[in-house]
Amino acid sequence: MRILHIIPKISSGGTEKQLEYLCTELLLAGHEVHVAYLHDSKESILFSSGVCMHKLRATNNHNPILILQIIKLIRQIAPDIVNTWILQMDIFGGLASLYCGVPFVLREPSSELAYPTTWKNRLRLIVGRYSAAIIANSNGGISYWKTHVSYHNFYKILNGIPIGNIKEVAPASFDILQNSELPLILYVGRFVSDVSGDKNLVNLLRALAIVNKKMPVNSILCGDGPQRTELEDLSKILNISDRVYFANHLSSIEVWGLMKSSSIFISLSGYEGCPNSVLEAIACECPVVLSDIPAHREILDHREAKFVNHFDIENISESILDVINNLSIAKEQAMANLSKTDEFSTKQMLYAFEEVYFRHSKIN
């Protein structure tokens, strides 16, 4: 099968990582895979994987000339199906596919809270109505679309992660830690608190300040984003800058090594789709403290994770201390959670996408 994926950028984000995993598996399964993109990162494995890469060119993200370029590309490639990723290309790629008479599927990476009422989001809903199918990675994503599109083909496909590769990674240390014997709290993700994502990192730092008054712990925040300066300044105001380390973007292997060395992986997101970092923490057998949101409850239940009210700083700090004080029990549960990883392997994701593609493609 010839498949064209269309995405705004090739970068280190969670959605882009899912595209990498899926394209790699599609190639191994014998499919011809093309990716059209506007912005790139040469660090992506897609450029050396055998995927046919097609760079689009425009002066800005909203330039309608992109639609003409995508139409030309679709006619040139003649794909059996098009898969659009992220709002901009859901619109431009969807319109181009419809014009060319090629079925397209839209991938939904989040849930309703990610989409305030804007003209771009409304236009995405209109274009999405004419897709062959909508693939969401969470129940929340499907519910969002069902609210606006009553009758359609909806599929839930969990994110996939490379379980085998994760198993091969050894536990790692972080050289900057002054005392590596202390419990280690790990966060991995973007530093944001806006419409693109609400990670509640201010509340995390305030909770860590309370924790450190009762018990010294190290914390590592891996990632970057517009909140970085605010968070670094806050860590100084809270007098925990010597216990909180900002590690920038790390490679997947480095992150997995840290997860295997950490006492707790924590995610306090206000909303999610299917968070890669939580799946990876499970695969690394790391105890998890999670915000009590539907997306996290889809992955683990109250016996398998410590759920917290992400608005309640006292609740967050008490939960962190509870896990640390009962770490042997938490690690036993984390080992038991490993049995869930078959549900979100990249192979399982491949099979699910293939089924949708074959059902709705031109060759059906």
pLDDT tens-digit series, residues 237-251: 999 999 999 988 888
> What pLDDT band is residue 45 in, cutting at 50, 70 and 90?
confident
Q: Cα(309)–Cα(290) distance, rounded to whole angstroms?
A: 9
Residue 18 CB-half CA count within 13 A: 29
Contact of 140 with 112, CB cutoff 8 Å: yes
CA 150, CA 153: separation in Å to the nearest integer? Answer: 10
Q: Are residues 78 and 171 in the same domain?
A: no
Report the DSSP beta bridge partners of residue 319. none
pLDDT score for 195: 56
* Domain shared by 233 and 272, yes or no: yes
Looking at the structure, do residues 145 and 167 belong to the same domain, yes or no? no
Nearest alpha carbon to residue 91 among 121, 135, 132: 121
pLDDT, tens digit (0-9, with 9 covering 90-100), for 247-302: 888 889 999 999 999 999 999 999 899 999 999 999 999 999 999 999 999 999 99
How many domains would you assign to the chain? Answer: 2
pLDDT in tens, 104-158: 999 999 988 889 889 999 999 999 999 999 999 999 999 999 999 988 999 999 9
151 with 201, same domain? Answer: no
Question: Which range among 10-19, 89-98, 338-347 has the greatest average pLDDT?
Answer: 89-98
Q: Which residues of 46-84 are buried (b: 16+ CB within 10 A; e: fewer)?
A: beeeebeebebeeeeeeeeebbebbbebbeebebbbbbb
Q: What is the pTM of this model?
A: 0.92
Residues 215 and 253 in one domain: yes
**Parent domain of 181:** 163-342
Question: The domain that contains 121 carries what CATH number?
Answer: 3.40.50.2000
Same domain, 11 and 93: yes
Q: Could you tell me if 20 and 130 lie in one domain?
A: yes
